[in-house]
Amino acid sequence: MKNLVLCITLNFIFFINIVYSVEVVPHQPQVHVQEKSKFNLTCNVSNIGNQQVRVEWSKDSKKVSDISGLKNRAVPTNSTEQYVLSVDKSTGSDSGNYSCIIYQGTEEKARANFTVVVTEALAVRVPSDVNVVEEERLRIECEVKGDPVLYWKYKNESYSVSGSNVILENYTHEGKVIRNGVFIIEKISDNDKGEVTCIGEDIATGQSVQDTCRVRVKGKYAALWPFLGICAEVIVLCAIIVIYEKKRNKTELEESDTDQSPDQKNTPDHGKEANLRHRQ
């Protein structure tokens, strides 16, 4: 009889512990988010029975409500067995270790931990147009914002490493190495013209951005034709001027001959005879 009572008592105590124990499970322990976007931290609470519990959110062991830069953007909401902390317009300073702490009275019963990483918003940029002379070197640099993984798309093929005709190189910007940030074709030909697209992808969030450059290839002697055209224009202009001057000189000569009278032309000594008579 004593053993039966003891067994019932132990079972009852064990049942009470199961019913009133608190379990907190983070909905997503690792959270990656970009700047100026919203993120939610959710903890699921179970086995609370009829006990009243309260939740407290902390960041790096400090209450969220006491953090000046965060408290006005962090809104906690509660529902049945679920507690959510919503943070709007995230910034880089929001990165850190968050905790969802469950209390029964003043006693901490359980907690769930989260790691939040806020990264800079992604952006990539290449020149909109590039003109290159045939057989010269094509070089396109992709400027980035954030920390994306870069690859390139060219003639319906993707390049994450160098290929037979395409070379990918790294470059350094403000002390940071941008991997695969430069697209190169050593000796470009007319067949190489087209669109080159730089694509950046955030592996953590899955977001991707891209920008496209249109490549135009000029003939090797393309710059010579305008020069030859100018020379031809100068030659034609000089020829016109020379012909015009010759015609003008000929016309002036004919007019000067016409202005003299026939008597003057036929009597070249007329002026001399007049002088002789005047002397007499």
The token pair that represents 38 in the structure block: 């919203």
Q: What's the token pair of residue 24?
A: 């907190």
Residue-wise over 105-132: b if at least 16 C-beta within 10 A, else e? eeeebbbbebebebbeebebebeeebeb
In this prediction, residue 152 carries a pLDDT of: 97
User: What pLDDT sits at residue 6?
Assistant: 47
Question: Confidence band (pLDDT; 50, 70, 90) for 15?
Answer: very low
Q: Which residues contact 138 (CB under 8 A, 6 or more apart)?
A: 130, 132, 183, 184, 185, 188, 192, 215
For the chain, the structural domain boundaries read: 23-119, 123-218
* Per-residue three-class SS string for 204-244: CCCCEEEEEEEEEEECCCCCHHHHHHHHHHHHHHHHHHHHH
Check whether 46 has a pLDDT greater than 60. yes
For domain 23-119, the question of CATH label 2.170.190.11 is answered with no
pLDDT digits (tens, 9 = 90+) for 246-280: 777 777 666 666 655 555 545 555 554 545 454 44
Where is pLDDT greater, at 225 or 78? Answer: 78
CA distance linking residue 75 with residue 82, whole number of Å: 14
Q: Are strands 129-133 and 208-218 parallel, antiparallel or unpaired?
A: parallel
Q: What is the pLDDT of residue 131?
A: 94
Confidence band, pLDDT 50/70/90 cuts, at residue 14: very low
The percent of residues in the chain predicted with pLDDT above 90, rounded, is 45
Whether the per-residue pLDDT at 70 is higher than 80: the answer is: yes
Do residues 200 and 126 touch, judged by C-beta distance below 8 A? no
Q: What is the dihedral of CA 187, 188, 190, 191, to 10 degrees?
A: 100
Q: Which numeric CATH code is attached to 123-218? A: 2.60.40.10
Q: In the predicted model, is pLDDT for residue 201 greater than 60?
A: yes
Mean pLDDT value across the chain: 82
- Please check whether the two domains, 23-119 and 123-218, share a CATH topology: yes
State what percent of residues in the chain have pLDDT above 70: 79
Is pTM beyond 0.75? Reply is: no
Condensed to tens digits (0 to 9), the pLDDT of residues 148-199 reads 999 999 999 999 999 889 999 999 998 899 999 999 999 999 999 999 999 9
Residue matched to tokens 């702490």: 101
Contact 99, 112 (CB under 8 A): yes
Residues 230, 118: Cα–Cα separation, whole Å: 60
